[in-house]
Amino acid sequence: MSCIGLKGQALKDCKAGMKFTLLAQARQNTNRANRVDSRTPATKRDSTQYRDGFKMGLAGKKPSKMQLKYEGENEYKKMGRWEGQNKKKKN
């Protein structure tokens, strides 16, 4: 897939190699936990959290123990981090 014709954040994501493969799975898990209709779409906030997790995964970072203790890690950030960790690095 080429990045031709994309603008703004979509172009940045395309160049970064983001596929958002786990975003739908994270949305389903969150909706199931909150007992919400599973057809509820992901919001801009959800994709922002996913994008932040992806950046953490690319950098090889993970949340600190203190952050996990007090804030936790939401489903979107966790799935984004997994995708970032499993993305093949360019040499």
Quote the strand ranges of the chain, DSSP E.
Answer: none
pTM attached to this predicted model: 0.74
CA angle 22, 20, 64 (to 5 degrees): 65
Cβ proximity of 26 and 75 under 8 Å:
yes
CA distance 6 to 8: 7
Looking at the chain, the whole-number percentage of residues with pLDDT higher than 70 is 95
- Evaluate if residue 91 carries a pLDDT over 70: no
What pLDDT digit, counting tens, does each position of 25-61 carry?
A: 888 888 888 888 877 788 889 989 999 999 899 898 9
